[in-house]
Structure 1
């Protein structure tokens, strides 16, 4: 894991390259850059493990104090803070696994069910400042920046999987994100020291740590996003269109079962009575079916890919059913990842987010709750879609002919 950059809730949390630029300011090219450079000139950096290409990768402007995320002209000591240096992170890597193994009645043992656990990140950091007041301000600012992680549902943490320098790896392919990240320990200072040769002052170099709990234990790779252009569209004349659970699939072979001829087991129907749903049988003259081959996730070596579907209605309300299937398969038993969008208002956007694991709507760029729009054809709640990354998959849409809507898919690899 590259320690030189962390972003919490989409906003920079730590950036070693920014700190190094402040501690080793170069020759200013403009008067504004000269004014924006740090107020103290001392070489605090003896070992530089930052990435020189980070500024260009993130699209940042010059790293000067006046443009630092913590700088506030109303707080003079904010100009005396040079930045944060993450020195160690424990807890990243493969997903933590819990599995109990008990003794068998005979030789050996018996393994219980596998369970992916939440992970804990222990982060050690340094605060580098020109003055003690600047270092104390940095500690307060860091605590404020962690506030999004105090939310009940947590937030996101972005980072690079490895240091990109001197590697053939494309830096964008190393971008990773963790979800449902919550803070479990506030930043605590464990050591404080001052600059050598300076008298009558307290420490301006702090060392400390804080802890985060990642409730969703998986790490997701870079997003592959595409606007759906349907590969094929077929309109079929029908008498009735019904939900997939109205009839049992008749195109799939049943799994054979060998039963005793002397003691025939009784068949007990334990299926619960299904409540009526508004997506039940509806009289239509025709149904339109469209197929799109989804792109494959990149950047993560594993067998899972999470697929997010974003639907935007046109000038009229939209109701449409989606599902996924292996490329070229048409058997009813090969359908998976069902998604029903019912009565999406004209011009509205709804997201079935398989990374966050929940559906929501977007209004003016803000996520809001949706009610009664996203479900499944059976009326059950929608669940995240995770597909095998090593297989070709198609997205199928079925709806009334002539509906105006657009679909985007976002595919992310999910690590083990």
Structure 2
């Protein structure tokens, strides 16, 4: 991974290109040549000075902030090893049971150079860095972490090289390991710090597919007098082929029932059905992908929302898929308020509903997402180019003309 740029919780922490421009303008020698296209890749104009550019650390109420000239990345570690591990359990006899593979958290260590025009500016820079690395403001202290952005290599177009990590938080705060005082009063401080990513995968930008745009739910096909889940009753469970009808095996102890939605809607009704198709040719061959579902209800509350996924490796027309017994999974939500936005995010395996408040503002809530027939929902992962057919069902009378949805597919990896 590239050490020259890092953004945490929307705040730029490391930007070698910015630091090099500011330092050279103040006559501070910089012995590296950072990637020249970082400013364009992150949407910045060419860098001039901290005040004109409103650098992330600049504070008009703190005069010494103008003397901080930037954070230059020296090295980053933690991306050249996979977090996958397993712990075999030794058997009584020979050998061992391998056990399941699991991913540990990822630890990321940075070494950076703080460049300051004078010592007071360096002192402020350390204060700012310590505060910025704590992530987004969070009053309760129970935050799960923030999003971290960086580049895999020197960016050309920005999107292709951009990588994201989620649930990232400070593990070890900044430590100054060396300080150099230069002629003219400028100061260089070598600083180390480390972060932990609770979600260990490294995510790319969403794939550019035909399905990455919004589709209208209000103009979907009308399916009258139908129950999207009724056909589940026809799903057959394979019978064990060695069960002897003359000598049945002993009954097993009963299992505790799986939790089921108490408000799971059933019965016939009129529905809107909208189909979304993803070609397997649009998916990478060696990277698994996770979906991000977004639904905006529009001017009417939405009820009995069902989003169903099928694998479609042959890229057949999505109208050929109507058997829920072969579906990968369902997303079931019984109610969404008018004007709300739902996100079911497979990257962090969390879901959120944003609701507008009057007269101004937005509130957020965590919806209870259920799976097929109101059972426990599991976030799907697509490990190869399966192609996808996706159906979105909602009750006709509760689907606004301006309701819409989209599904993004995001590639992820263990190393970068």
Alignment check: 8 A CA contact 1:125 1:207 kept: yes
Pick one of 133, 146, 149 that aligns with 1:155: 146
1:282 aligned partner? 267
Closer/same/farther in 2, CA of residues 247 and 79 from structure 1, 3 Å limit: closer
Pick one of 192, 196, 201 that aligns with 2:179: 192
Pick one of 117, 123, 130 that aligns with 1:130: 117
Structure 1 stretches of 4+ moved >6 Å: 295-301
Alignment check: 8 A CA contact 1:95 1:117 kept: no
1:406 aligned partner? 404
Alignment check: 8 A CA contact 2:258 2:376 kept: no
Report the TM-score when normalising by structure 1: 0.82
Deviation at 1:119, TM superposition (A): 0.9
Q: Secondary structure at the match of 1:142?
A: helix
Deviation at 1:102, TM superposition (A): 4.7
Structure 2 CA distance, aligned partners of 1:14 and 1:188?
Answer: 16
Alignment check: 8 A CA contact 2:265 2:334 kept: no
Deviation at 1:78, TM superposition (A): 1.3
Matched, 1:79 2:57: no
Report the TM-score when normalising by structure 2: 0.82
2:9 aligned partner? 9
Higher relative contact order (CA 8 A, sep 6+): 2
Alignment check: 8 A CA contact 1:297 1:413 kept: no
Deviation at 1:107, TM superposition (A): 5.3
Deviation per CA, 1:47-73: give whole Å up to 9, x if none: 22x111111111112312212121223
Pick one of 155, 169, 177 that aligns with 1:182: 169
Closer/same/farther in 2, CA of residues 103 and 272 from structure 1, 3 Å limit: closer
Matched, 1:391 2:366: no
Deviation per CA, 1:109-129: give whole Å up to 9, x if none: 442221111111111111111
Deviation at 1:137, TM superposition (A): 1.3
Alignment check: 8 A CA contact 1:220 1:414 kept: yes
Alignment check: 8 A CA contact 2:337 2:355 kept: no
Closer/same/farther in 2, CA of residues 325 and 94 from structure 1, 3 Å limit: farther
Closer/same/farther in 2, CA of residues 394 and 346 from structure 1, 3 Å limit: same
Pick one of 36, 41, 44 that aligns with 1:52: 36
Q: For 1:260-271, what aligned pairs fall within 5 Å after superposition?
A: 263-268=247-252, 270=255
Alignment check: 8 A CA contact 1:298 1:413 kept: no
1:113 aligned partner? 100
Structure 2 CA distance, aligned partners of 1:298 and 1:188?
Answer: 45
Deviation at 1:248, TM superposition (A): 3.7
Structure 1 CA distance, aligned partners of 2:67 and 2:123?
Answer: 10
1:37 aligned partner? none
2:316 aligned partner? none
1:323 aligned partner? 308
Deviation per CA, 1:313-359: give whole Å up to 9, x if none: 13221122111012344332221332123221222212112222111
Pick one of 333, 345, 348 that aligns with 1:356: 348
2:325 aligned partner? 333
Structure 1 CA distance, aligned partners of 2:292 and 2:106?
Answer: 24
Closer/same/farther in 2, CA of residues 94 and 369 from structure 1, 3 Å limit: farther
Q: Secondary structure at the match of 1:83?
A: strand
Structure 2 CA distance, aligned partners of 1:392 and 1:347?
Answer: 31
Structure 1 CA distance, aligned partners of 2:195 and 2:276?
Answer: 39
Pick one of 96, 113, 129 that aligns with 1:142: 129
Closer/same/farther in 2, CA of residues 255 and 24 from structure 1, 3 Å limit: farther
2:257 aligned partner? 272
How many residues are paired up? 387
Q: How much is the aligned-residue C-alpha RMSD, in angstroms?
A: 3.1
Structure 2 CA distance, aligned partners of 1:282 and 1:95?
Answer: 48
Deviation per CA, 1:193-231: give whole Å up to 9, x if none: 111x45xx6x7111121111111111111024421258x
Deviation at 1:262, TM superposition (A): 6.8
